[in-house]
Amino acid sequence: MKKIVSLVLALMMLATMGAAMGEGKTTLTVACWDLATTPYYAAIENGYEAANSNVDIVWVDLASQDYNIKASTMLSGKDTTDLYCVKELSDMQNWANEGHIIALDDYVAQKAYDLSKYAGMDACYVSVADGKQYALPFRADFWVLFYNKTLFDAAGIDYPTNDMTWDEYADLAVELKGDGVYGTHYHTWLSAAVNWAVCDGVNTLADGDYDDLAYFYELLQGLEDAGACMTYDELKASGLHYSGAFAQGNIAMLPMGYWYASTMCGYIKDGTASFDWGMTAVPHLDGVAAGSSFGSPTGIAVSAYSANQEAACDFAAWMCSEDGAKAIAATGTRPAYVSEEVAAVMASAEFMPTDETSLAALLPTAIALEWPIGEGVNEIKTAVNEEHTLIMTREISIEEGIANMEERAADYVK
């Protein structure tokens, strides 16, 4: 009996010691998306916790396709999640206007935080309503063309280059199709299909004029009809994610954001993908400079309903600092923070392609903003995306869809 009592007492002491050791430790919850396929989340968590042993980072994984809706719903319901990754610039504007996230200006001033290292991307997170800073950028992505070197080699076809027109790209996709191989792949997003029209730096998706999208819709649907890529309906029905699709090894090309490079590095490392791959600049229209792309930053905001706002601000600052950028860059992802040290880490990421073409693709000549910031942009975005779906499901013609976009956007164009 004495032995039993002693054992119980010992266990109680261990439990008490554990509780005491845990006192003062803060848990920060961070809303994100694609947690399982995005290596930099773990890199950020490990890096920050190594430097801040009194903090635990817990990611709240929301479905990528529903992230904006789910995150907005959580904030509207005053969910106590501490921080939110900002996927769309327009969401940050809404969250700021509705009082869901806090302004960071006082924190930035108090810590003498240097915003000049973001090459202007910090301005994307300034509210158009009150001019305050409501988020900081930790990623700054642009789109590139991923390609499967193994499939090109098997077909005896030259690799794509950093100076290729869209017509040349389409011809290449058709040439590569066959025997279970698709020449290219388009995710279902509007951005993957037609956002290339903004790469000229003149057009925007909120200017109310959408004739420039017709060429890209015609090109994509032509590739579907030729069997050079899976159809929109097939992708919607199967729920096939672009990351898994390309990793299967039967897709020769994939226009996608540079963020996918870190996913591919992870796939090669764990054996999910087992082929040689590379990157080039996205194709361009005649008259548009080779290397032109579009993109946008990804930011982090602190919830107004967080019980740990000071700790959350410290984490956001670290995540967007040079130390955070190095952790992100080590996974093959392009951070928003710019420095020579970060660039060196980025180039040396494990399993990144090291050929000259791929390295040159990391230096775009121009990056247009995917969606501009301003009043009415959210409403325009909704209208354009709804018509995009109808065009891609072929419920309406390209001409009808573009006419509908222009008619619906006219009420909001400033």
pTM > 0.85: no
pLDDT of 114 higher than 80: yes
Note the pLDDT of residue 344. 82
pLDDT of 128 higher than 70: yes
Q: What would the mean pLDDT of 275-289 be, rounded to a whole number?
A: 97
371-405 as b/e: b if 16+ CB within 10 A: bbbbeebbebbebbeebbeebbeeeeebeebbebb
Note the pLDDT of residue 340. 82
* % pLDDT > 90, the chain: 78
Residues in the chain, how many? 414
Backbone angles phi, psi at 278, to 5 degrees: -150, 180
Note the pLDDT of residue 23. 58
Q: Render pLDDT for 157-202 as a digit per residue (tens, 0 to 9).
A: 999 999 999 999 999 999 999 999 999 999 999 999 999 999 998 9
pLDDT of 21 higher than 50: no
Question: In order of start, what are the domains of the chain with their CATH numbers?
Answer: 2-140+295-347 (3.40.190.10), 142-294+355-409 (3.40.190.10)
Note the pLDDT of residue 18. 42
Cα–Cα dist 95/75, whole Å: 8
pLDDT of 2 higher than 50: no
237, exposed or middle or buried, with CB in 10 Å at 0-12, 13-18, 19+?
exposed
Element (H, E) at 88: none
The separation between the first and the last C-alpha atoms of the chain, rounded to the nearest angstrom, is: 82
Q: Render pLDDT for 337-396 as a digit per residue (tens, 0 to 9).
A: 988 888 788 878 889 998 999 988 888 888 888 888 888 888 999 999 999 999 999 999
* % pLDDT > 70, the chain: 94
pLDDT of 317 higher than 90: yes
Mean pLDDT taken over the chain: 92
What residues are paired with 85 via a beta bridge?
A: 300
Q: In this predicted structure, which of 23-27, 266-270, 279-283 has the lowest mean pLDDT?
A: 23-27
Note the pLDDT of residue 333. 86
Confidence class for position 16, pLDDT limits 50, 70, 90: very low
Q: Cβ contacts of residue 189 below 8 Å, gap of 6+?
A: none
Q: Cβ contacts of residue 310 below 8 Å, gap of 6+?
A: none
pLDDT of 4 higher than 80: no
Cα–Cα dist 326/190, whole Å: 31
Q: What would the mean pLDDT of 196-217 be, rounded to a whole number?
A: 96
> Whose CA is closest to 291, among 359, 193, 372?
359
Cα–Cα dist 101/253, whole Å: 39
Q: Render pLDDT for 136-164 as a digit per residue (tens, 0 to 9).
A: 999 988 999 999 999 999 999 999 999 99
Backbone angles phi, psi at 332, to 5 degrees: 95, 10
pLDDT of 10 higher than 60: no
Residue type, 168: E
